[in-house]
């Protein structure tokens, strides 16, 4: 069985050697890695995969790292960002932090120091624990569920329409990650007595939720059906 990665890192640097070293180092230490040679490739990966933290080189040909950091912060508020800067570029560091970067590490760096910074940032942002409720927010597939505000938002931060019953169902699943829940258990957790566990109401709401949170609703990874048991929320999608 493959262990669940500590977190998924997007590594953005135009230098192949740097990407290779970071990819090998972090993979060896239990992280999932997604390398990108430029901002365009990074944007494409961010749109396709849930990412916990982005390592972004500031100085890249074409669109630079500062512009990419702004894009990531505006569209994916839950992604932590660590900027990689050239030594002495104080202005770039300040601008990067103003744009929403969580930390910066000057080049050249020791991979061990960078790993320590990454671990610290992930601990602060809690985005590595995608199934944890944390500060009333939990990542569910390609969306983020805000329990306090009763809101579901997509990758772009746009609100996804959701009925009160759909919210209760998603909340019940999110608060019991990696545990199969029967229809009766879901009803008890959501405290909705007008649902009938023996009809198709729960199944229909699960189907609707999958269309909203799953990258591929026809092949659900985050809300799965467990034969003869019910449904299970898998925070990392089984990766």
**Spatial contact of 68 and 46, defined as CB atoms under 8 Å apart:** no
- Measured in degrees and rounded to the nearest 5, phi and psi for residue 90 equal -60, -40
Of 38-42, 77-81, 169-173, the range with the lowest mean pLDDT is 77-81
Residue 37: predicted pLDDT:
97
Domain boundary at 125, 149, 183, which?
A: 125
Residue 131: inside a domain, yes or no? no
Confidence check: pLDDT of 209 > 50: yes
3-state SS class at 158: coil
The CATH number linked to 155 is 1.10.10.10
**Spatial contact of 99 and 51, defined as CB atoms under 8 Å apart:** no
Claim to verify: residue 21 and residue 98 sit in the same structural domain = yes
Enclosing domain of residue 45? 8-125
In sequence order, which residues have a C-beta less than 8 Å from that of residue 68 and are 6 or more positions away?
Answer: 12, 39, 42, 43, 56
Residue 83: inside a domain, yes or no? yes
3-state SS class at 107: strand
Mean pLDDT of the chain: 82
Share of the chain above pLDDT 70, in %: 81
Mean pLDDT, rounded, for 169-188 = 83
**Spatial contact of 8 and 31, defined as CB atoms under 8 Å apart:** yes
Question: pLDDT tens, 89-141?
Answer: 565 666 666 666 778 888 888 999 999 989 888 877 653 344 444 457 888 99
Q: Computed from CA positions of residues 21, 24, 28, 29, in that sequence, does the dihedral angle turn out positive or negative?
A: positive
Question: pLDDT tens, 13-29?
Answer: 999 999 999 999 999 99
Claim to verify: residue 115 and residue 141 sit in the same structural domain = no
Q: Is the pTM above the cut of 0.85? A: no
**Radius of gyration from C-alpha coordinates of the chain:** 20
Claim to verify: residue 104 and residue 167 sit in the same structural domain = no
Q: At what angle do helices 90-98 and 65-75 cross, to 10 degrees?
A: 10
Q: At what angle do helices 183-190 and 201-213 cross, to 10 degrees?
A: 80
């Amino acid at each position: 069985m493959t262990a669940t990665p500590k977190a998924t890192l997007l590594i953005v640097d135009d230098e192949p050697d740097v990407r290779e070293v970071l990819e090998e180092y972090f993979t060896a230490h239990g992280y999932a890695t997604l390398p990108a040679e430029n901002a365009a490739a990074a944007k494409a990966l961010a749109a396709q995969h849930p990412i916990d933290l982005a390592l972004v080189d500031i100085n890249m040909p074409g669109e630079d790292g500062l512009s990419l950091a702004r894009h990531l912060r505006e569209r994916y508020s839950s992604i932590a960002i660590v900027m990689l800067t050239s030594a002495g570029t104080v202005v770039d560091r300040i601008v990067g932090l103003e744009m929403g970067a969580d930390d910066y590490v000057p080049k050249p760096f020791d991979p061990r120091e960078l790993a320590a910074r990454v671990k610290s940032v992930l601990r602060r942002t809690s985005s590595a624990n995608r199934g944890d409720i944390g500060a009333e927010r939990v990542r569910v597939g390609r969306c983020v569920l805000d329990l306090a505000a009763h809101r579901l938002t997509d990758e772009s931060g746009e609100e996804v329409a959701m009925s009160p019953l759909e919210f209760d169902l998603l909340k019940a699943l999110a608060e019991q990650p990696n545990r199969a829940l029967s229809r009766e258990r879901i009803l008890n957790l959501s405290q909705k007595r007008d649902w009938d566990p023996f009809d198709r109401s729960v199944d229909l709401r699960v189907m609707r939720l999958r269309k909203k949170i799953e990258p591929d609703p026809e092949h659900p990874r985050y809300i799965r059906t467990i034969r003869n048991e019910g449904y299970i929320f898998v925070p990392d999608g089984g990766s």
